[in-house]
Amino acid sequence: MAEKFDMTRQAVSKHIKVLHECELIKPEHSGREIYYHFNAKKMQEFDHWLAQFRQNWETQFTQLDHLLTTIKEQATK
């Protein structure tokens, strides 16, 4: 799997470990090989958790966008 990414095997292994610890992927052992399967249910839980922050981020980004537009308009005057 590491060959598909621009990172070391150790880095890929570390990412897989974190995803497994978070239960976002499930390992399936088949002899010497391990196949990982995406856990969509856990991802939905993660998405619901993020939702509480999403509105705040969107509000802040909208405010930042308005501020930058105002600064740009003032600089062109």
Give Cα separations from 30 to 3, 23, 26, 35 (angstroms): 21, 19, 13, 7
Q: How far is residue 29's CA from residue 12's CA, in Å, rounded to a whole number?
A: 18
Give Cα separations from 59 to 12, 24, 51 (angstroms): 34, 28, 13
> What confidence score (pLDDT) does residue 2 get?
66
> Which of residues 76 and 71 earns the better pLDDT score?
71
The mean pLDDT of 52-61, rounded to a whole number, is 92
Q: How far is residue 39's CA from residue 45's CA, in Å, rounded to a whole number?
A: 10
- Give the global pTM: 0.58
Query: Over the stretch 14-33, which tens digit does the pLDDT of each residue have?
Result: 999 999 999 999 999 999 99
| Termini Cα distance of the chain | 54
List beta partners, residue 26: 37
Question: Residue 73 pLDDT more than 80?
Answer: yes
Question: Residue 46 pLDDT more than 80?
Answer: yes
Provide the mean pLDDT of the chain.
91
Helix (H) / strand (E) element for 70: namely: helix 40-75
